[in-house]
Amino acid sequence: MDTSVRRAAIAQLKSELLRTMRNKRFVFFTIVMPIAFYFIFTSSMDGDLTVDGIDWAAYYLMSMSAYGVVGSGITTLSQKFSRERSQGWSRLLRITPLPSWAFVLSKVIAQGLINLCMIIILFIIASVVKGVELSAAQWIESGLWIWFGSFSFMALGTLVGTIRNSDVVQVVGMIVYLGMSMLGGLWFPVETMSDTMRAIAHAMPTYWLGHGAWNLIGGGAFDWNGVFVLGAYVIGFVVLSSYIMRKQEAV
C-alpha cells in the first residue's frame, strides 16, 4: 500500500474507533446489554445447569459474546454507511484522495478491533466474576471463532446500510439484530426450542456463529459446516449490497 494511502487509512481508522466509542447507543446495546444479560441469565439459573454437557455459564458466555458482535456489526456499520450517504459524506469523500476501498476497510478494521475488545472483556468478566473455567486453547479458539464470525455480520450491516433513509435503517438494523439473535438461539438455547423454531434457528447465521463456539468449548470437532454457512452468507450479503449500491450510484 502506498504510504500516503496508509497514512490516510490509519487516520480514518482512528476516527472510526473514536466515533463508535462515543456513540452512546452503540455502547449501550452492544457492550452494556450483553454483559447485563450475561449476569442476569447466569445468576437466575440453577448453578449446575448444563446445555449439551456444557456448563451454562460457559455456554451463555459464548452466546452473549456472539450476540454482542452481531449487534456491533449490524447496527454500527449500517448506521454509519446509511447516515454518511444521506448526509453527503460519501459524496464529499469521493473527491478526496482517500480511495473508497480504504474508507470501507478502515471502518471494518475499526469494528473488528472493537469486537475483539468486546470478546476479551466479556471473557475476562466471565472468568473472574463467574469463575468460568476453560482450557487456554478453548478460550483462544472460541474467542477467535466468534471474532472471525463477526465479520460476516459486518457484511450484513453494509447490506442494511444500503437503505437510503437512515431512520429506517436504525429500525431495520435493530429488528434484524434482535430478531436474528433470538431466533438463532443466542438469547435462549435452541435445545429449549420447539422443532419448528429449531428449524428456523438452523437457517440463521447467528445460530452458526454460536454453534461453532459452543462446539469448541464442548470439545467437539471444528465446525466446518459453520464456516461454510457463514461464508455463504458473507458472499450473499456482499454481492447483494454492492449490487444495490452500484444501482443507486449509477447516475
Count of residues of this chain found to bind another protein when the rule CB under 8 A is applied: 26
Q: Where are the alpha helices (DSSP H) in 23-165?
A: 24-26, 33-43, 56-71, 77-86, 89-94, 100-129, 136-160
Closer residue to another protein, CB minimum distance, 14 or 235: 14
Which segment (15-23, 27-35, 45-53, 175-183) binds another protein by CB under 8 A?
15-23
Q: Nearest approach, Cβ of 250 to another protein (angstroms)?
A: 9
Please tell me the number of Cα atoms within 13 Å of 166 on its side-chain side.
13
27 near another protein, rule: CB under 8 A:
no
Quote the least distance from Cβ 68 to another protein, whole Å. 20
Q: Is 32 in the site for another protein (CB under 8 A)?
A: no
Q: Which is nearer to another protein, 106 or 152 (CB)?
A: 106
Q: How many Cα neighbours within 13 Å face the side chain of 250?
A: 6
Please give the torsion angle defined by the CA atoms of residues 203, 112, 59 and 199, in that order, rounded to the nearest 10 degrees. Answer: 0
22 lies in the site for another protein, by CB under 8 A: yes
Rounded distance, CA 226 to CA 231, Å? Answer: 8
Give residues 74-113 in contact with another protein (rule: CB under 8 A): 83-84, 87-89, 91-92, 94-99
Unique residue bearing C-alpha cell 452494556 = 32
Is there binding between residue 50 and another protein (CB under 8 A)?
no
Q: Which is nearer to another protein, 63 or 76 (CB)?
A: 76
Question: Which CB, 99 or 236, lies closer to another protein?
Answer: 99
Q: How far is CA 19 from CA 26, 67, 81, 176, 212, in A?
A: 10, 21, 13, 23, 31
Integer CA distances (angstroms), 224 to 145, 207, 212, 215, 246, in order: 11, 14, 9, 11, 33
Residue 17 binds another protein, judged by CB under 8 A: no
Determine, following the binding rule CB under 8 A, whether residue 25 of this chain makes contact with another protein.
Answer: no
Rg (alpha carbons) of the chain, rounded to whole number: 19
The answer to whether 247 contacts another protein (rule: CB under 8 A) is no
Determine, following the binding rule CB under 8 A, whether residue 12 of this chain makes contact with another protein: yes
Binding site residues, another protein, CB under 8 A: 4, 7-8, 10-12, 15, 18-20, 22-23, 83-84, 87-89, 91-92, 94-99, 251
